[in-house]
A = this chain, B = another copy of it.
Amino acid sequence: MPTRLTNYFLKTLREDPADAEVTSHRLLVRAGYIRRQAPGIFAWLPLGLRVKSKIEAIIREEMTNAGAHEVHFPALLPKEPYEVSGRYVEYGDGMFRLNDRRGAGYVLAPTHEEVFTLLVKDLYNSYKDLPLSIYQIQDKYRDEARPRAGLLRGREFTMKDAYSFDYTDAGLDVSYQAQRDAYERIFTRLGLEYVIVKADAGAMGGSKSEEFLHPTLVGEDTFVRSAGGYAANVEAFTTLAPPTRSYEKLTPAEVLDTPDTPTIASLVEVANAVHPRPDGTAWNASETLKNVVLALTHLDHTREIVAVGLPGDREVDLKRAEVAFAPAEVEAATEDDFTLHPGLVKGYIGPWSPEGAVLGEKSSTGIRYFVDPRVVDGSGWITGSNIHGKHVFGLVAGRDFTADGTIEIAEVKAGDPAPDGSGPVELARGMEIGHVFQLGRKYAEALGLKVLDENGKLVTVTMGSYGIGVTRILAIIAELNNDENGLIWPPAVAPFDVHVVVAGRAGKDDAIFEAAETIVADIERSGRSVLFDDRPKVSPGVKFGDAELIGVPKIVIVGRGVVDKTVEVWNRASGERIEVPVDGVVNAL
């Protein structure tokens, strides 16, 4: 049975929705796929639900091929498992919380690691039960501070989340690889180009993690790759530290006048003009040490001021800083923070002053001090002396100051060396389409998931977690497949295979309507699904416009040509329209 527009639930809109920030949101609303219910929360209309179901079907097939079995957890879950794992606190305001009528605490699950772990613990107890991979396709909830970009960052969204359970590290590697392979097949079938990059495990914890990114200029994620095969998102990129150097022969540090040099650029200029290097070569910004003061807000809501020293030619990358300091939240220190720390001389901050250590554990300020990995022992720097208008030259790490640790918050630049030695990296942008994690034993340990091994010994299970945002993927496909007239779905996920338009009006062109019925029946017999625009009093022009907006890949136009037994077949993607004999329609499709 074809789906007839005469009684379908569909209203295409001429106007873009006022709140649409991105193309996919604009077109999915206008073409009648989704409708907003609240910020970041959407209802799925019949066309949208069909596309979503097709994506889910592809994911299910490949999960089955990967040996994973489908289960389904409630969205509403008791809070206790999330308290045990620590995520009840870590998620902060991002988690929807509620109480039932008896006052028991619940959450709307943002992901399900905890309860999958508990379910396996509940039912399994032997290595013979493993390996196990299980997954669900479920609506997830995250109370985003700024839901935006339509389905790309919603507060309710559908996700496929899979979890693997093994009792050996080698087993986890196999399970992880099976999911990773399935993801490659899924994205290939969905027609989504992807790059697999090293990722930071973030709030999930765990050891190894990779992201599938779709490379696109408008992506919200930045990643790096080298010609030699290295790829990572910038949050996961690690800096290749230079070797430490001996500082035995280095001259002592020297405090010099550098008036009016609160910025790195002014400092380099003054240094070259007033304090030229003995050998005559110019100082450059990478030889200065910039000290950035940041404010951390810890989970217990305490505020801590920290300082980070990094080469003066690098800016702070806030995303890298967020990951580096997680789960604390990080922001630039405010004027109030500086007022509370009079030991910091703005524009001339450094780890050292002629009176001793200024930053770090046993210093005058007591402020924790971290440095970029490039600040290795034996490296010498021009940096603030904590005296207004003066810098110290030749301050040597390990000799003159000691940090509390290294930290990766400096921006990554094109040309930086890949950490695996595979050459310089380039920067690119992409959208996250999937994420695979080796969680390791974090959740199993927290929640007590152990099994008996071959020797009858209790061992903690090691886990993986594998996610694809179904509704996000749908939005990305829409974002990538459209033109000024509407959507252009790839056949694998199109809501229908064929859109048949009757180019005529009931009453005047009844023969055309009759012919269209026969043609639709023929197409359906060939196994293709049909959206049939049989609206009796809508003009052909409006019908064509709707067909373009909706974006079914093939459009068959049944019009006056049927007297000569011909119809038109319109390829939505190429725009090509060819005339074919009525009995050749199925072949032409």
CB-defined contacts of A45 to chain B, threshold 8 Å: 71
The residue in A64, A71, A78, A104 that gathers the most chain B C-beta atoms within 10 A of its C-beta is: A71
Q: How far is the CA of A77 from the CA of B43 in the complex (A)?
A: 10
Please provide the chain A residues from 12 to 44 with a CB less than 8 Å away from any CB of chain B in the complex.
Answer: 32, 35, 37-38, 41-44
Q: How far is the CA of A96 from the CA of B98 in the complex (A)?
A: 8
B96 lies within 8 A of A141 (CB): no
A72 lies within 8 A of B98 (CB): no
CB-defined contacts of A73 to chain B, threshold 8 Å: 37, 43-44
CB-defined contacts of A8 to chain B, threshold 8 Å: 69
Q: How far is the CA of A139 from the CA of B77 in the complex (A)?
A: 13
A115 lies within 8 A of B37 (CB): yes
Question: Is A93 interfacial (CB-CB < 8 Å)?
Answer: yes
B98 lies within 8 A of A43 (CB): no
A43 lies within 8 A of B64 (CB): no
Please provide the chain A residues from 59 to 77 with a CB less than 8 Å away from any CB of chain B in the complex.
Answer: 64, 67, 69-77
The stretch of A117-125, A266-274, A447-455, A511-519 in contact with B is A117-125
CB-defined contacts of A247 to chain B, threshold 8 Å: none
CB-defined contacts of A38 to chain B, threshold 8 Å: 74, 76-78, 104, 106
Checking B7, B37, B134 against A74 with a beta-carbon cut-off of 8 angstroms, the contacting residue is B37
B156 lies within 8 A of A123 (CB): no
Which residue of B has the minimal Cβ distance to A46? Answer: B69
Q: How far is the CA of A44 from the CA of B136 in the complex (A)?
A: 10
B78 lies within 8 A of A115 (CB): no
B101 lies within 8 A of A145 (CB): yes
> A160 CB to closest chain B CB, in angstroms?
14
Which residue of B has the minimal Cβ distance to A537? Answer: B128
Which residue of B has the minimal Cβ distance to A80? Answer: B38
Which residue of B has the minimal Cβ distance to A42? Answer: B74
CB-defined contacts of A76 to chain B, threshold 8 Å: 38, 41, 96, 108, 141, 155-156
Question: Is A319 interfacial (CB-CB < 8 Å)?
Answer: no
CB-defined contacts of A106 to chain B, threshold 8 Å: 38, 96
The residue in A76, A96, A104 that gathers the most chain B C-beta atoms within 10 A of its C-beta is: A76
Q: How far is the CA of A123 from the CA of B101 in the complex (A)?
A: 36
Please provide the chain A residues from 320 to 377 with a CB less than 8 Å away from any CB of chain B in the complex.
Answer: none
Question: Is A245 interfacial (CB-CB < 8 Å)?
Answer: no
A77 lies within 8 A of B37 (CB): yes
CB-defined contacts of A131 to chain B, threshold 8 Å: 7
> A530 CB to closest chain B CB, in angstroms?
14
CB-defined contacts of A119 to chain B, threshold 8 Å: 35, 43
Question: Is A275 interfacial (CB-CB < 8 Å)?
Answer: no
A67 lies within 8 A of B7 (CB): yes
CB-defined contacts of A32 to chain B, threshold 8 Å: 123
Question: Is A248 interfacial (CB-CB < 8 Å)?
Answer: no
Contact with B along A92-106 (1 / 0, CB 8 A): 011011101100101
CB-defined contacts of A70 to chain B, threshold 8 Å: 46, 49
CB-defined contacts of A1 to chain B, threshold 8 Å: 64
> A133 CB to closest chain B CB, in angstroms?
8
Contact with B along A107-146 (1 / 0, CB 8 A): 0100000010001001110000101101000010101010
The residue in A42, A49, A72 that gathers the most chain B C-beta atoms within 10 A of its C-beta is: A72
CB-defined contacts of A104 to chain B, threshold 8 Å: 38
Question: Is A277 interfacial (CB-CB < 8 Å)?
Answer: no
CB-defined contacts of A143 to chain B, threshold 8 Å: 100-101
Question: Is A11 interfacial (CB-CB < 8 Å)?
Answer: yes
B97 lies within 8 A of A93 (CB): no
> A74 CB to closest chain B CB, in angstroms?
5
A115 lies within 8 A of B7 (CB): no
B98 lies within 8 A of A71 (CB): no
Q: How far is the CA of A32 from the CA of B120 in the complex (A)?
A: 12
CB-defined contacts of A7 to chain B, threshold 8 Å: 67, 131-132
Q: How far is the CA of A67 from the CA of B7 in the complex (A)?
A: 8
Q: How far is the CA of A232 from the CA of B76 in the complex (A)?
A: 36
Which residue of B has the minimal Cβ distance to A132? Answer: B9
B78 lies within 8 A of A37 (CB): yes
Given contacts A38-B74, A49-B71, 10 further A-B contacts (CB under 8 A): A9-B71, A37-B73, A37-B77, A38-B76, A38-B104, A43-B72, A43-B74, A46-B71, A76-B108, A93-B101
13 A-B residue contacts at CB 8 Å? A37-B73, A41-B76, A43-B71, A43-B74, A44-B71, A46-B69, A46-B134, A49-B70, A49-B71, A52-B72, A75-B75, A98-B98, A98-B108
What are the 8 closest A-B residue pairs judged by CB atoms, nearest first?
A98-B98, A44-B72, A11-B123, A93-B101, A46-B69, A9-B69, A43-B73, A38-B78
